[in-house]
């Protein structure tokens, strides 16, 4: 069986090198070739001995997920639909900004948590992604964004089978930040996500700062504690409600891990976190969770937890059953939080014209949960 070297972090790659009779330092060389140079052809790894290159060609590959389609938004956001086999596809989004380029990575095919406002959660769940499928999203984005030599006009496009790059004037077109906020619940796929995080942080691979890598979770408390011990990066928690009654409806995992326990886990996480606050994500749903009274309730809820809020205007998708809060309602909610001394930002909607905005990722999932007895095709087709 051919081994995909994208599945290996530094420790596992060193073990593999030992198994084929090579010294551990070869692992560092391979990491640099694969992740820093984006090299997938062993014959091109010029500082490796010919015998080693022959061994690698006979036993291993560097194989990221293949691109099915690419969409480019009017605002420069790019979305790729990647093939992960057996009719399944995942979505990865790159958001260029003046000071950074953020890549939003998926961790599962679909999602089992069924958050009611999320397009991914409506699809069902097929499986966890492997390490190669997770880190392969970053590998692919770096290769495309880092090697493109041409600029194209900034306008909406739907591209299939092409590699083109949007490079708007004054925007960062390389990956500087990674957020595990794509399809799936990252902490429900803990081991594979943790190994991918190892590679993101490894100086011989991507060399990202812990502050520039963020894992988002709906609140899987045991896994939050494991992440704190194993690989503490920046943490974002999908809160979305100021009390258990409403959160039980919006984020069903709350029935297992209620708010009091979740906030205690956040406080524990901060002891090892690279930032001195937790980011709470809060989707703004008209008439559901956006009143001034609910903002006041939220202030009381988090008063013992160092935090900042990211208010996210709801991004519509077909048959969602929700509407986006008005600008007035969002600003009123924000003002209540800020007057209480809580740092609060309103997320700018990016890529909604190509269904790449927060909560819109759908991909293509063959549902294995029996919640829907048919193949569900997502928005990126």
Q: Which of residues 238 and 379 earns the better pLDDT score?
A: 238
| 3 state DSSP class of 121 | helix
Q: Which of 17, 118, 266, 358 is catalytic?
A: 358
Architecture of domain 3-61: Orthogonal Bundle (1.10)
Half-sphere exposure in the Cβ direction for 203 (13 Å, CA): 0
Residue 281 annotated among the catalytic residues of the structure: no
Mean pLDDT of the chain: 86
So what's the pLDDT on residue 245? 98
Domains 3-61 and 66-377 share a fold: no
Please name the helix (run of DSSP H) or strand (run of DSSP E) that holds residue 267, with its range, or none.
helix 259-269
Q: Which of residues 368 and 160 earns the better pLDDT score?
A: 368
Return d(Cα 110, Cα 361) in angstroms, integer. Answer: 9
66-377: CATH superfamily:
Aldolase class I (3.20.20.70)
* 300-358 per-position pLDDT tens digit: 999 999 999 999 999 887 888 899 999 999 999 999 999 999 999 998 765 455 454 44
Residue 358 annotated among the catalytic residues of the structure: yes
Tell me the β-bridge partners of 213. Answer: 178
* 19-65 per-position pLDDT tens digit: 999 999 999 999 999 999 999 999 999 999 999 999 999 999 999 99
pLDDT at 368 over 70: no
CA–CA distance from 77 to each of 82, 184, 313 (Å)?
16, 20, 17
So what's the pLDDT on residue 162? 36
Nearest C-alpha neighbor of 325 from the set 355, 303, 349: 349
* 291-301 per-position pLDDT tens digit: 999 999 999 99
Range of weakest confidence among 146-160, 190-204, 295-309: 146-160
Span 259-282, mean pLDDT?
97
- The residue extents of the domains of the chain are 3-61, 66-377
Return d(Cα 98, Cα 100) in angstroms, integer. Answer: 6
Q: Quick one: tokens of 202?
A: 């490894």
Span 180-196, mean pLDDT?
96
Q: Which of 70, 91, 133, 185 is catalytic?
A: 91
pTM of the model: 0.86
Nearest C-alpha neighbor of 257 from the set 364, 41, 127, 113: 113
Return d(Cα 72, Cα 165) in angstroms, integer. Answer: 9
How would residue 5 be classed by pLDDT, with cut points 50, 70 and 90? very high
So what's the pLDDT on residue 98? 87
26-64 burial, b at 16+ Cβ within 10 Å, e below that, comes to: bbbbbbbbbbeebbbebeebeebeeebbebbeeebebbb
């Amino acid at each position: 069986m051919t081994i995909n070297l994208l599945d290996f972090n530094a420790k596992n790659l060193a073990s593999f090198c030992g198994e084929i009779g090579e010294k551990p330092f070869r692992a560092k060389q391979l990491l640099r070739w694969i992740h820093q140079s984006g090299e997938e052809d062993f014959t091109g790894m010029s500082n490796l001995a010919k015998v080693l290159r022959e061994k690698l060609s006979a036993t291993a590959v560097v194989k990221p997920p293949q691109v099915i389609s690419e969409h480019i938004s009017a605002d420069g956001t790019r979305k790729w639909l990647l093939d992960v086999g057996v009719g399944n596809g995942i979505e990865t989004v790159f958001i260029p900004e003046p000071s950074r380029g953020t890549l939003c990575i998926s961790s599962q095919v679909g999602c089992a948590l069924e958050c009611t406002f999320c397009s991914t959660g409506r699809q069902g769940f097929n499986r966890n992604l492997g390490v190669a499928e997770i880190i392969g999203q970053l590998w692919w984005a770096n290769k495309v964004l880092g090697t493109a030599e041409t600029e194209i006009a900034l306008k909406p496009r739907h591209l299939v089978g092409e590699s083109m790059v949007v490079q708007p004037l004054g925007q960062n077109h390389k990956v500087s930040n990674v957020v595990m906020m794509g399809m799936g619940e990252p902490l429900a796929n803990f081991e594979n996500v943790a190994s991918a995080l190892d590679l993101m942080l490894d100086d011989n691979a991507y060399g990202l700062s812990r502050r520039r890598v963020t894992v988002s979770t709906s609140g899987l408390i045991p896994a939050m504690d494991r992440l704190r011990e194993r690989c503490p990066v920046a943490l974002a928690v999908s809160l979305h409600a100021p009390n258990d009654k409403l959160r039980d409806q919006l984020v069903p995992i709350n029935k297992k891990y209620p708010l009091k326990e979740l906030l205690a886990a956040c406080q524990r996480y901060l002891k090892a976190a690279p930032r001195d606050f937790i980011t709470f994500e809060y989707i703004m749903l008209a008439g559901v969770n956006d009143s001034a009274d609910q903002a006041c309730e939220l202030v009381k809820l988090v008063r013992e937890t160092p935090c900042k809020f990211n208010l996210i205007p709801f991004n519509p998708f077909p048959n969602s059953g929700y509407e986006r809060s008005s600008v007035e309602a969002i600003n009123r909610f924000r003002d209540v939080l800020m007057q209480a001394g809580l740092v609060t930002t309103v997320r700018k909607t990016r890529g909604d014209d190509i269904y790449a905005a927060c909560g819109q990722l759908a991909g293509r999932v063959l549902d294995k949960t029996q919640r829907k007895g048919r193949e569900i095709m997502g928005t990126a087709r």
